Amino acid sequence: MRTVIQRVSKASLFIDGIEKGSIGRGLVVLAGFGRNDTEHVIDVVVRKILKLRIFEDTEGKMNHSLLDVSGGLMIVSQFTLYARTEGGNRPDFLEALKAPESKILFDKFVETFRTLYEGHIIAGEFGKHMLVEIHNDGPVTIILNIENERRV
């Protein structure tokens, strides 16, 4: 599973030209699933994201997590995180999990966040074309790549 985690001052999500929701200070998580991923990786990744200390304390050090700051959370499915570009100029996505299985894992990913986090959560719709407006804060962007067998 691959995720791109961005600390934001605010973000909005539009689907079919209609605003689905927005968050203030918090995280935008772009999530992609590889063809070998199973739901076993989800709990590990969700807990890691919730505990990542990437929000600044009063001294300007990154000492606080999303849990600490009670920030908003936006979750968006993004299979393009598995793009391969070695073979030419057009990326292939052969390493990405197929859509039906990926939707199941994405839904489980969102459900796990909703179970473990009581803050404001906005989730994209799997397979839809979305417009995501992100005001990256810092900027702080973390790439988290977790394989099923690896624990963090």
CA nearest neighbour of 5 among 45, 44, 42: 45
The answer to whether 80 is a known catalytic residue is yes
Q: Count, in order, helices (H) and strands (E) of the chain.
A: 3, 8
Catalytic annotation present for 79: yes
Residue 78: active-site member: yes
> For residue 75, which of 36, 119, 41 has the smallest C-alpha distance?
119
Query: Which candidate in 33, 55, 79, 106 is catalytic?
Result: 79
Q: Which listed residue (6, 33, 78, 109) is catalytic?
A: 78
Q: Which residues are catalytic?
A: 78-80
